[in-house]
């Protein structure tokens, strides 16, 4: 993020399924952004993220929910076929991508299992909950691994990430289609408060100007939600009586 950003985009899930997906996306992005492990600091950041991801994957039926959503998105696209002026080639292309993602995800081994069974990852996970538990004397396996050739470490990390490719590709496509399903509309909050209905929606997306340095506090579920805007500076910040913002209900 940079100081010159004019607006900030916030996303809030409206159900547990979307909450899990956004957390997985967040963790996968961190893993891919920090995939070159050059020292103990970068390695621990990567392994801690892997551990967090495995914890999230163990809590729910991620594969089942994603397969259902891939099928639902195919059905939604099929409904556009009879709409005048629609780009049929684009529709068929997206449906083919969805089918391919579903096929690969269906055939893939249990998501995260390869990472759970990896000896190095397992050793590091055991020590992460101990303050300072990954020192070289506590974890000599990691210490010597970090002294292997960088190319060898890079290759192992690529192999780890490749085991997550079916999950990553399916999730990215599903979230992209969901995000595109709702258009941003201008809204006004009164005295820092806004509420509306969200029947059948999965995700709220809010775009706020940085001018007032406000952030949204969202509460609600799949049928109704409320947003309260709060200042970053809780002591001196001011919330305008009428605040313009953009909102997309996806």
What stretch of H or E contains 218? strand 214-220
Q: 165 and 103 in one domain? A: yes
- 81 with 153, same domain: the answer is yes
> Which among 180, 214, 229 is the end of a domain?
180
Alpha-carbon distance of 102 to 117, in angstroms, equals 25
Residue 126 located in a structural domain: yes
Number of domains in the chain: 2
Quick one: pLDDT at residue 60? 79
Distance between first and last Cα of the chain = 24
For position 4, what pLDDT does the model report? 45
The pairing of beta strand 193-197 with beta strand 214-220: unpaired
Tell me: do 158 and 123 sit in the same domain.
Answer: yes
Domain of residue 210, CATH code: 2.60.440.10
Task: Point out the domain boundary residue: 180, 210, 228.
Answer: 180
Domain that holds residue 127: 35-180
My answer on whether 192 and 164 are in the same domain is no
* 117 found inside a domain: yes
User: What is the rounded CA–CA span in Å between residue 111 and residue 164?
Assistant: 7
Based on the fold, state whether residues 73 and 166 are members of the same structural domain. Answer: yes
Q: Looking at the whole model, is its pTM more than 0.95?
A: no
8-state DSSP, 83: S
Q: Establish if 1 belongs to a structural domain.
A: no
Q: Are 45 and 136 in a shared domain? A: yes
Domain match, 161 and 205 both = no
Question: The domain spanning residue 152 has which CATH number?
Answer: 1.10.3900.10
3-state SS class at 185: strand
Judge if 55 and 86 occupy the same domain: yes
pLDDT averaged over consecutive 10-residue blocks of the chain (250 residues)? 72 94 98 95 97 93 95 88 77 92 95 96 95 93 96 97 97 96 95 91 94 92 88 92 96
Domain boundary among 126, 151, 180: 180
Which tokens hold the place of 33? 């952004």
Tokens 């599903």 belong to which residue? Answer: 174
């Amino acid at each position: 993020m940079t100081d010159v950003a004019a607006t900030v985009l916030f996303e809030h899930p409206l159900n547990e399924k979307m909450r899990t997906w956004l957390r997985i996306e967040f963790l996968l992005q961190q893993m891919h952004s920090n995939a070159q492990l050059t020292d103990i600091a970068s390695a621990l950041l990567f392994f801690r993220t892997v551990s967090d991801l495995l914890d999230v994957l163990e809590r729910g039926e991620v594969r089942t929910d994603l397969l259902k959503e891939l099928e639902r998105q195919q059905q939604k696209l099929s409904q556009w076929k009879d709409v005048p002026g629609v780009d049929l080639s684009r529709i068929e292309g997206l449906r083919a991508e969805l089918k391919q993602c579903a096929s690969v995800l269906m055939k893939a081994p249990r998501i995260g299992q390869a990472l759970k069974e990896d000896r190095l990852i397992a050793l590091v996970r055991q020590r992460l909950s101990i303050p300072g538990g990954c020192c070289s004397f506590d974890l000599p396996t990691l210490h010597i691994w970090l002294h292997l050739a960088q190319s060898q470490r890079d290759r192992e990390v690529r192999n780890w990430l490749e085991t997550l490719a079916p999950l990553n590709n399916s999730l990215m496509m599903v979230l992209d289609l969901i995000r595109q399903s709702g258009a941003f509309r201008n809204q006004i909050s009164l005295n820092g408060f806004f509420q509306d209905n969200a029947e059948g929606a999965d995700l709220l997306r809010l775009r706020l100007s940085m001018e007032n340095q406000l952030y949204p506090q969202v509460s609600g579920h799949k049928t109704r939600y409320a947003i309260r805007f709060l200042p970053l500076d809780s002591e001196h910040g001011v919330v305008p009586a009428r605040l313009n913002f953009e909102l997309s209900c996806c």
